[in-house]
Structure 1
Amino acid sequence: MSTSGQQQFRYTQTPSKVLHLRNLPWDCSDEELVELCKPFGKIVNTKCNVGANRNQAFVEFADLNQAINMVSYYASSSEPAQVRGKTVYIQYSNRNEIVNNKSPGDVPGNVLLVTIEGVEAGDVSIDVIHLVFSAFGFVQKIATFEKAAGFQALIQFSDVGTASAAREALDGRSIPKYLLPEHVNHCHLRISYSAHTDLNIKFQSHRSRDYTNPYLPVNPTAMEGVLQPVVGPDGKKKEPESNVLFASLENMQYAVTVDVLNTVFSAFGTVQKIAIFEKNGQTQALVQYPDVTIAAAAKDALEGHCIYDGGYCIQ
């Protein structure tokens, strides 16, 4: 028996008509798997790009003896099984068939569909969702909504690998309790892949964010995802609170830069992001704080006040 054969196989498993292949190219296709295995019998199913590195696969033969023939051949061959020059390690799978191959939600993509179980729509903010998923890479866009399945979110990453890493790590896990309201006892994430590749976010709001476009307008009516205004005890309409402030700068006689705004707004807490843009001839800005409390304090203190002589910050 060759040395390469000893490295390629483990003999502790019971023979199965499903073979488990490892060390494949991460983008190995079903066609390449069939090409490798078809000399030994009829292939009835394949499952590519599995595992954390997407470099593993399963191949199901029509008959057990066909799978045994392939394992036996490469165990005694001086030439290892290869795909694109990479040595492929083959062993029997502990499953007897491949189930739900390429089922909806199982085809890797850069957009995740996340169902958040055990919560109402208002219990988990879009900022908490962003914080949890940003641990795995840059989150480009988020859209949240309510369906029969419950409170859900679409989360877009720049590439499939980052999305897959997030899914592998978070599927079935819970959002940390310290990020949730006290009345929420558990919060499980159920994550699958979405067929979407690029979410169409029209407004920054409490229900949707586009982190790639700081100039996207804020939609005040969509800040809480409801059409009815919030009414205070005095009968007046209340603006929904957010950790992102929308500032309009009026009567400008001096330039207002990001540094200037950072100096003004940092007096109330850490400023995470600032975006300045022009709309209809008026200078506007988005200022992001880490939480709603700081943003509310800054709004109360600065609304209607001067930045310096001739410039106003009106929230």
Structure 2
Amino acid sequence: MSTSGQPQFRYTQTPSKVLHLRNLPWECIEEELIDLCKPFGNIVNTKCNVGANRNQAFVEFADLNQAINMVTYYASSSEPAQIRGKSVYIQYSNRHEIVNNKSPGDIPGNVLLVTFEGVEAGDVTIDVIHLVFSAFGFVYKIATFEKAVGFQALIQFSDAETASSAREALDGRSIPRYLLPDNVGSCNLRISYSAHKDLNIKFQSHRSRDYTNPYLPVNPTANGGFVQPSVGPDGKRIETESNVLLASIENMQYAVTVDSIHMVFSAFGTVQKIAIFEKNGGTQALIQYPDVTTAAVAKDALEGHCIYEGGYFIQRQK
């Protein structure tokens, strides 16, 4: 018996070379499990952070006797197994091997699957999702939907490295309270990797966005605040004013950076956001101002002009 009165082992279980460890520190890492178990034999596989509280794990030994040695040792020891000062409860697993150390949601990719806990669809807008995740890199696309587990979103970045940075920083964290409506107490993020590589966004709406294609048609039944683009007699789109400019940079001879774009566009007002991306072999940037008037002044002043020697802007309003 442990000091807390909770049994550390189930003696009735059939021995297995796979051990089930409980009461681990939150976000226990593989190296900590290996350090605890390696004195008893060769470890061939592990599976960390399982269970509702992510405080359980499985460890697979190369040989059944090695697993038995570990269980027997701690069953007779006056000192329990410990990781970071926490008593770890050990028992034989019902499984006899760990088939895959990483579930599909643990395999890094450029698309994240995000579950928003504690909210309903509509409590967290797609603009708030974009604001939170664009802090880690340019967000290409977002698609939101409802499943049995709750409100979810797929968020596409340019590469797995950027997506991984966002996941590591935000998984298990809460969206800032000031970004949530008054009726919502908190919203926790649970993030895994999606098997998707490129989201197929057909319409801009309050449920889906493609930030690489400002000319994607707006879903008229779910515009969520968007204005349907106007079309002239010649069938061409008539641009509507917006506080976001789309700048195409042509004839580049020097690198264009966020700093250089900010320097040019901030001369006309406060620049809230800048995103640079490559499209169709060219460089483009999205520049967000706080209002339409400031964006219009910047557009009129800069369209067709040089940013510096060897390159100039062609600008459109998003």
TM-score normalized with structure 1 length: 0.51
- Partner letter of residue 172 of structure 2? A
Matched ranges for 1:199-278 at <5 A: 199-200=198-199, 207-208=208-209, 216-222=212-218, 226=222, 230=227, 244-247=244-247, 259=260, 262-270=263-271, 272-273=273-274, 275=276
Mapped to 1, the partners of 2:167 and 2:94 lie a distance apart of 21
What residue number does 1:158 align with? Answer: 161
Amino acid at match of 2:296: D
Cα distance in 1 for partners of 2:30, 2:218 equals 47
Query: Who is 1:145 aligned against?
Result: 144
> What amino acid maps onto 1:154 in structure 2?
L
Q: Which residue number in structure 1 is paired with residue 106 of structure 2? A: 108
What is the RMSD computed on CA atoms of the aligned residues?
6.0
Return the alpha-carbon distance in structure 2 between the equivalents of residues 27 and 159 of structure 1: 28
TM-score normalised by the chain length of structure 2: 0.50
Structure 1: runs of 5 or more not aligned: 1-9, 39-45, 82-86, 211-215
Tell me the residue number matched to 2:296. 300
Change (3 A) 1:188 1:151: same
Give structure 2 stretches of 5+ with no counterpart.
11-19, 230-236, 307-312
Alignment coverage as a number of residue pairs: 257
Q: Does residue 25 in structure 1 map to residue 27 in structure 2?
A: no
User: Identity over aligned residues, as a percent?
Assistant: 24
Distance 2:33 2:196 in 1: 18
Q: 1:190 to 1:308 in 2, by over 3 A?
A: closer
CA gap of 1:188–1:277, structure 2 versus 1, over 3 A, is closer
Find the aligned partners of 1:268 and 1:260 in 2 and give their Cα distance.
Answer: 13
Instruction: Give the residue type in structure 1 aligned to 2:9.
Output: S
1:38-91 Cα shifts (integer Å, max 9, x gaps): 9xxxxxxx961328xx99833599xxxx977523337999xxx9xxxxx9x996
Measure the CA separation in 2 of the matches of 1:23 and 1:190: 20
Match of 1:176 in 2: 176
Question: Do 2:248 and 2:315's aligned partners in 1 also have CA atoms closer than 8 Å?
Answer: yes
Alignment-derived partner of residue 197 in structure 2: 198
Distance 1:146 1:204 in 2: 14
Q: Secondary structure at the match of 1:221?
A: coil
- CA drift at 1:152: 2.7
CA contact (8 A) 1:16 1:67 kept: no
| Structure 2 CA distance for aligned equivalents of residues 265 and 225 of structure 1 | 36
Q: In the alignment, is the contact (CA less than 8 A) between 1:115 and 1:191 conserved in 2? A: yes
